[in-house]
Amino acid sequence: MGLLIRNGEIVTADSRCIADIYAEDETITRIGKNLEVPAGTETVDATGKFVFPGFIDPHVHIYLPFMSTFAKDTHETGSIAALIGGTTTYIEMCCPNRNDDALEGYSLWKSKAEGHSACDYAFHMSVTKFVKETPAQLQKIVKDGTASFKIFLAYKNFFGVDDGEMYQTLMLAKRLGVIVTAHCENAELVARLQNALLAEGKKGPEWHEPSRPESVEAEGTGRFATFLENTSATGYVVHLSCEKALHVAVAAKTRGVHLHIESVIPHFILDKSHAERPGVEGMKHVMSPPLRAKHNQRALWNALALGSIDTVGTDHCPFDTEQKLMGKDAFTDIPNGIPGIEDRVNLLYTYGVERGRLPLDRFVDCASTRAAKVFGLFPRKGTIAIGSDADLVVYDPEYQGVISADTHAVNNNYSGFEGMPIEGRPSVVTVRGKVQVRDGKFVGERTRGKFLKREPAYF
Ligand SMILES: [Zn+2]
């Protein structure tokens, strides 16, 4: 049976018009005014609302063993939270650690998602060591449709790679045509600064930011860019947090390094004063790179509006307050992460578009289209066009609400954005032509989500 979205204002990254959209067999087949459709077609009236392409979160953690515990979401809960917030595809970081086998890790991560997700999904494969089996293993993973890698310059001895391993990963990625995403912080300096602060008795969550200052992120970003420059590989900085690192990344782009820049929603909305709150309130806001001094937000918003920052993800990573309290005696034991999968689109719309910081076309681009292009999902995802998957978000700009853990769908007992007003939310969300969300409630098929195979594209 077909689906008709009638009379909405269709907004993509490069066009805007009022029209109807008709989808059949999971795909958009017609766009036009006053479309004639078969009797019995399911119809959504989008009059007075926007219709956006399904949003894509290029950076989430769902299944995540970290600091001897596990992030709280499963694909059952995480995908529903994503959909309620308008995200119809997410790319999860597959993160086996240095002691795990890469192929076993990849199968494990895939098995956690398969048949359990309500939205579509893909993976970035983390390369957490480089040994003699690595090239053959990664080649298999790329053949399976996972055409992007992730490396960590931070998290020494756990996820982190050294410069030699980074070089080998980039050379292999170049050969396979795969993009490499990177967490850019200097591991050595983070470890040294953490120890120095703890030795001085500085143990609360307010010391997390000083243990990984902006210069440490700028150094990691610059080193990654230099390695890209000398390997001709294509890279993507994840969760860039501050003006110092932004300058380094933009300078690299300007001199022709193949580099894309992601920031994540907490860095646009929250600042380091949140992590300076006493006790568990501060711990809730510990993530890496850390929340920064507020002045950085202006630079991030401006770079986003200009398109120098390509994408906005979440680094969604829910640890509850009990887990956060593992770090009550030392900030280094606080599991890192702030959940955001459900709130990203509404926060970007409210504090970006509604506040005049982000043009509507760039909003669609940074939260959907650009991620689809960078990660090989376009034009199947990331736009509204004939032949594209019918992943659609009918968005109500009149909605007024407040973010709260009391009402959110994320499996976590707090929200990092508790009490923040939002002005707008999805009223209908579809995944390949099937209505999955209506007015903030999941109403669809819990196992509709599919693994998205991607082809290598960066030769
Ligand atoms: Zn992450």
Q: pLDDT tens-digit profile of 158-196?
A: 889 999 999 999 999 999 999 999 999 999 999 999 999
Helix (H) or strand (E) holding 65: strand 65-66
**Distance of CA 49 from the midpoint of ligand 1 (Å):** 33
**Distance of CA 94 from the midpoint of ligand 1 (Å):** 10
**Cβ neighbour number for residue 299 with a 10 Å cutoff:** 16
The DSSP string of 143-176 is HTT--EEEEESSSTTTT---HHHHHHHHHHHHHH
pLDDT in tens, 101-152: 999 999 999 999 999 999 999 999 999 999 999 999 999 999 999 999 999 9
Q: Which of 40, 46, 39, 1 is nearest to 21 (CA)?
A: 46
**Distance of CA 313 from the midpoint of ligand 1 (Å):** 10
E strands along 287-391, which residues?
A: 311-313
**Distance of CA 354 from the midpoint of ligand 1 (Å):** 28
**Distance of CA 229 from the midpoint of ligand 1 (Å):** 24
Residue 279: per-residue pLDDT:
92
**Distance of CA 315 from the midpoint of ligand 1 (Å):** 5
**Distance of CA 157 from the midpoint of ligand 1 (Å):** 17
**Distance of CA 61 from the midpoint of ligand 1 (Å):** 6
**Distance of CA 70 from the midpoint of ligand 1 (Å):** 14
Residue 156: per-residue pLDDT:
82
Using CA atoms, how far residue 323 sits from 14, 71, 281, 292, 417, in Å, is: 43, 9, 13, 23, 18
Calculate the CA 416 to chain-centre distance. Answer: 16
Using CA atoms, how far residue 297 sits from 267, 283, 368, in Å, is: 7, 21, 21
**Distance of CA 239 from the midpoint of ligand 1 (Å):** 8
Six-digit token string for 294 = 């507020």
Longest CA–CA span in the chain (Å) reads 74
Residue 212: per-residue pLDDT:
98
SS3 454: coil
Residues of the chain with pLDDT under 70: none
**Distance of CA 17 from the midpoint of ligand 1 (Å):** 36
Residue 57: per-residue pLDDT:
98
**Distance of CA 277 from the midpoint of ligand 1 (Å):** 23
**Distance of CA 238 from the midpoint of ligand 1 (Å):** 7
**Distance of CA 243 from the midpoint of ligand 1 (Å):** 20
**Distance of CA 299 from the midpoint of ligand 1 (Å):** 22
Q: Which of 335, 308, 165 is nearest to 240 (CA)?
A: 308
What's this model's pTM, rounded to 2 decimal places? 0.98
**Distance of CA 35 from the midpoint of ligand 1 (Å):** 43
The proportion of the chain whose per-residue pLDDT surpasses 70, expressed as a percent, equals 100
Contact call for residues 171 and 149 (beta carbons, < 8 A): no
Using CA atoms, how far residue 29 sits from 23, 37, 84, in Å, is: 5, 11, 25
Q: Which of 340, 405, 393, 351 is nearest to 368 (CA)?
A: 393
**Distance of CA 391 from the midpoint of ligand 1 (Å):** 25
**Distance of CA 93 from the midpoint of ligand 1 (Å):** 7
42-45/65-66 β-pairing: unpaired
Calculate the CA 177 to chain-centre distance. Answer: 22
**Distance of CA 371 from the midpoint of ligand 1 (Å):** 15
**Distance of CA 60 from the midpoint of ligand 1 (Å):** 6
